[in-house]
Chains A and B, each alone.
Chain A
Amino acid sequence: MTLKDVLDAQHPPAEFDLSHEELVQFFWKYRGLSKRWERANAFWEATNANLKTAYEKLDEKDRELEHAYNVIQEDLEVASRIQSALLPVASTEMTRDLEIAVYHRQLAEVGGDYFDYFKMSGGQHAIGVFDISGHGVSAALVMTYLKARFMGLMDTTDSPKTIVDAVNDSSFAFLKSVKKYATVNFVVFEQDLIRYVCGGGFGMLLHGDQELHFEKKDHFLGLRNKPFHEHTLPFVEGDLLALYTDGIPEGQNNAMEDYSIHRINALIRQHADKPVAEIVDLCLDDYSRFRAKDTDDITLAILRKKKP
């Protein structure tokens, strides 16, 4: 039996006879393997030590990340409370004339949907519903900017067109620089009618049996530095006004079908005789059952003209 036969065998042979030369070769093979093992061991010990250090660094980074995340979350919670505090409460005077229900929910802690109540220089009540492009913190910051702009102009006019034009004109450069724009529904309530400006928002009015829709030919705030157009619609006792942003009509189900403005308008029409708060709840209930998941901020305001 040669050394090669011995080393190639599956099991050690019962007995074998190696020459001195073969024994020497065997010796050096064994030493060679030991030496390779020694080098491999040193390599793996060095890499293990490196792995240990890497894990420690990873742990440290994980802790830093967790801390940073907690700081951001705390900030967002504060921002959310601030944004909620900026939302309006209808005055007694306004609720004397109008039955009002509003559902408003941001997709994240803060967002770009915004609504507000106003009192014009002539004493008329007004409501504005806006949708700032994007979501989150950037949209929320633009919301506070626009709120300040609108509030600053309330005492100066009773024309929705004048106000919206003025806000657009004074905000245009800023909105362009931050690459933001906002849809706008601005409605002023007069004796028996509403005057409104609609730039990208959704609005539907039930005047008796008639379903009337807002003219939607205008642009958005911050998109064009051009005047808006003012329109009027009748609005008498018992009439219903619905204003909403695109969060509901553009919500999709699992088959990627849109909820659609037709569906929400039909639902409002179907339940037009109910209290406005109930109509809002029914719309949201239907929407929640339809949509696959929430992907946008949502605002839905429904108002009914009360008996004088």
Chain B
Amino acid sequence: MNSHHEETLEIFGALLDGFAKACLNLNIVAGRQASELTQSIEMLQWYPYQRLRDLENTVFTSYSNSGPILEKVGVQMMWAWYHFGPGQQILKDGVDFLHFQSSSNGYASVVKGPQSEVGDFKLMELDPQRGTALIHSTTPFNKDLERGVIIGGMEAPGDLDYVDVVHEGDGYFQIEFH
């Protein structure tokens, strides 16, 4: 259950655009729904958070099992961000994504509003030797989508052979990577 008061939050156009385009590229939605998705999203503009919820709802209403779909959307969004956006210039490797996402240039740059509503994306633990990390996310994002974002962001640079992310509840993501 979402405990955020989302009416006070805003989301960056580039993220909305990334979500919409991922849905189109994966043929998750098509036809009239697809055209409506991508209509009038300005990359550098801020939008009410509800706009992202509206996009997510197109997936929820179309799929009885939306978890794997949203996860795939998250992976696709980060793949596109890395290969066609600024990702290649920002990340030196897969683990670097965890540092980036938890920094002020990561999550914090795409959602704004009262801090209690925005939440954050904290890297709680990181053991590169053992290949484990623990993230605590208090963001309003759907957790399947967020899992996909973490997987996609870590896999995009191509240096990691194995990435697994498990949401253990309450926004805690257990990550294993090798």
Residues on the A chain within 8 Å of B151, using CB:
39
Residues on the A chain within 8 Å of B71, using CB:
39, 42-43
Residues on the A chain within 8 Å of B68, using CB:
39, 42-43, 45-46
A28, B130: Cα distance in complex, Å: 13
Contact B162 A50 (CB under 8 A): no
A304, B17: Cα distance in complex, Å: 77
Residues on the A chain within 8 Å of B62, using CB:
50
B12-60, CB < 8 A from A: 28
A35, B69: Cα distance in complex, Å: 16
- In the complex, the number of residue pairs spanning A and B with C-beta atoms less than 8 Å apart equals 48
Contact B162 A35 (CB under 8 A): yes
Contact B161 A32 (CB under 8 A): yes
Contact B64 A43 (CB under 8 A): no
Band of interface residues on B: 10 to 19
A50, B151: Cα distance in complex, Å: 24
Given that A28-B178, A43-B69 are known contacts, is A35 also in contact with B64, CB under 8 Å in the complex? no
A222, B178: Cα distance in complex, Å: 83
Contact A32 B163 (CB under 8 A): yes
Given that A39-B72, A43-B69 are known contacts, is A49 also in contact with B64, CB under 8 Å in the complex? yes
A157 touches B (CB below 8 Å) = no
B160 touches A (CB below 8 Å) = yes
Given that A39-B71, A46-B69 are known contacts, is A25 also in contact with B64, CB under 8 Å in the complex? no
Contact A43 B161 (CB under 8 A): no
Mark each residue of chain A from 11 to 40: 1 if its CB lies under 8 Å from any CB of chain B, else 0. 000000000000001001101100100010
B112-169, CB < 8 A from A: 151, 160-164
A75, B128: Cα distance in complex, Å: 75
Name the one of A25, A39, A45, A46 contacting B66, with C-beta atoms under 8 angstroms.
A46
- Closest A-B pairs by Cβ, 10 of them: A32-B162, A42-B68, A28-B178, A28-B161, A32-B161, A28-B162, A46-B65, A29-B161, A46-B68, A43-B68
Q: List 6 A-B contacts (CB under 8 A).
A: A32-B163, A35-B164, A46-B64, A46-B65, A47-B28, A49-B63
Q: Which A positions have Cβ atoms within 8 angstroms of B?
A: 25, 28-29, 31-32, 35, 39, 42-43, 45-47, 49-50, 53
